[in-house]
Amino acid sequence: MSFVSTLTRRTPEQDTDMSTANTGQQTPMLDVRGLRKVYASAKRSVEAVRDLTFSIDPGELVCLVGPSGCGKTTLLRCISGLLETTSGEVVLEGKRVSGPPEGMAVVFQEYGRSLFPWLTVWQNVELPLKEKGISRAERKRLTTESLVAVGLADFHSAHPWQLSGGMQQRVAIARAVAYEPHVLLMDEPFAAVDAQTRGELEDLVRALWERLGVTVLFVTHDIDEAVYLGQRVVVLSSSPTVVLEDVTIDLPAERDQLTTRALPRFTELRAHVYERVQQAKSGAQAAE
Ligand SMILES: Nc1ncnc2c1ncn2[C@@H]1O[C@H](COP(=O)(O)OP(=O)(O)OP(=O)(O)O)[C@@H](O)[C@H]1O
Ligand SMILES: [Mg+2]
């Protein structure tokens, strides 16, 4: 498919690199060091994130799970440079993040609010490319290809409100992918779609990740989803947040909704992560 051939493919070298994931043998794509975030106002201050340290290697797909309110969105906002950290730092490709970085795209949970209702599907996907200063011909190519990749080529002239929730979320994914990010952050992107659509969108994310070699940080509160999608699952404690455990998901790379979820190892990993999240909810703090 032209979409694949024109964007960065995962190379055999990258595949080899991924086997050394998280061993510290290569420069991380994303490095979160001692991140702390306190929301302070005149009336009260909330320590949302206490001390988060983890890193993601180039081309990894890492899922982040944790109890509601533990600071997942806060963390993503800090990583994407939309929010200042209280202390600690976020380093992307060796550079400290101090504002929205060029090589990053974010897919938010509330697609209804993240798409512009007065713009067509095409215009929504194209807009960030215009802002990036990409030429008209290149914008056309990238927009077409990303809409084909998410199966929405025929809906380019529709407005978001004419589409189902799952289709709107596909537009948000197309927009992020067209931008050709090095890092893709996703904040509970499928929380509002039905189970079947959710499975399809999960497979779409895996397929795009495999083809494009993009580094993905995927936040979800759904443990099955995290284990199905990720190469690693980082479990966060309840707020004030620390990393409780960084679980390696040693499932075969070829994943399928039916066979992968039926594997005994899937059940084991799911049970393990579930237990850790339950501990997180009951106030566990120390990472083992
Ligand atoms: N702008 C803000 N001002 C003050 N406190 C905030 C603000 N945003 C978030 N918080 C607080 O920070 C903590 C973490 O919130 P955050 O939205 O990051 O959690 P979350 O893990 O994304 O939750 P959820 O799973 O429900 O999406 C919560 O206690 C929340 O009340
Ligand atoms: Mg959130």
Give the pLDDT score at 110. Answer: 76
Contact 239, 48 (CB under 8 A): yes
The structural domains of the chain, with segments of one domain joined by +, span: 2-103+185-281, 117-180
Residue to probe by mutation, ligand 1, list 35, 36, 38, 46, most atoms within 8 Å of CB: 46
Tell the residue nearest (CA) to atom 16 of ligand 1: 71
Residue 15 has pLDDT above 70, yes or no: no
Taking the CA of residue 77 as reference, the ligand 1 atom at the shortest distance is: 18
Across the strands, what pairs with 218?
63, 186
Contact 243, 88 (CB under 8 A): no
Residue 267 has pLDDT above 90, yes or no: yes
Contact 111, 172 (CB under 8 A): yes
Domain 2-103+185-281 has CATH 3.40.50.300: yes
Q: How confident is the model at residue 103 (pLDDT cuts 50, 70, 90)?
A: confident
d(CA 264, CA 260): 9
Give the SS3 label for residue 242.
strand
Rounded to the nearest angstrom, the distance between the alpha carbon of 285 and the centre of ligand 2 is 20
Rounded to the nearest angstrom, the distance between the alpha carbon of 47 and the centre of ligand 1 is 10
* Residue bearing the bigger pLDDT, 75 or 112: 75
Report DSSP state, residue 20: T
Among all chains, which residue has been given the structure tokens 């976020």?
Answer: 90
Cis peptide before 240 (omega within 30 of 0): yes
Rounded to the nearest 5°, which phi and psi values hold at 189? Answer: -70, -20
pLDDT digits (tens, 9 = 90+) for 185-239: 999 988 878 888 889 889 989 998 998 899 999 999 899 999 999 999 999 988 8
Across the strands, what pairs with 219?
64, 187
* Residue bearing the bigger pLDDT, 17 or 284: 284
* Residue bearing the bigger pLDDT, 75 or 111: 75
Residue to probe by mutation, ligand 1, list 35, 39, 188, most atoms within 8 Å of CB: 39
Rounded to the nearest angstrom, the distance between the alpha carbon of 210 and the centre of ligand 2 is 26
Antiparallel, parallel or unpaired: β 61-65 and 104-107:
unpaired
Taking the CA of residue 37 as reference, the ligand 1 atom at the shortest distance is: 12
Rounded to the nearest angstrom, the distance between the alpha carbon of 153 and the centre of ligand 2 is 31
Q: What is the DSSP string of 145-214?
A: HHHHHTT-GGGTTS-GGGS-HHHHHHHHHHHHHHT--SEEEEESTTTTS-HHHHHHHHHHHHHHHHHH--
Across the strands, what pairs with 49?
37, 241
With 0-12 / 13-18 / 19 or more C-beta atoms within 10 angstroms meaning exposed / middle / buried, residue 286 is: exposed
Give the pLDDT score at 117. Answer: 94
- When pLDDT is averaged across residues 28-39 and rounded to a whole number, the result is 94
d(CA 78, CA 51): 13
- Closest residue by Cα to residue 63 from 279, 169, 211, 222: 222
* Mean pLDDT for the chain overall: 87
pLDDT digits (tens, 9 = 90+) for 34-43: 999 999 888 8
- When pLDDT is averaged across residues 1-14 and rounded to a whole number, the result is 37
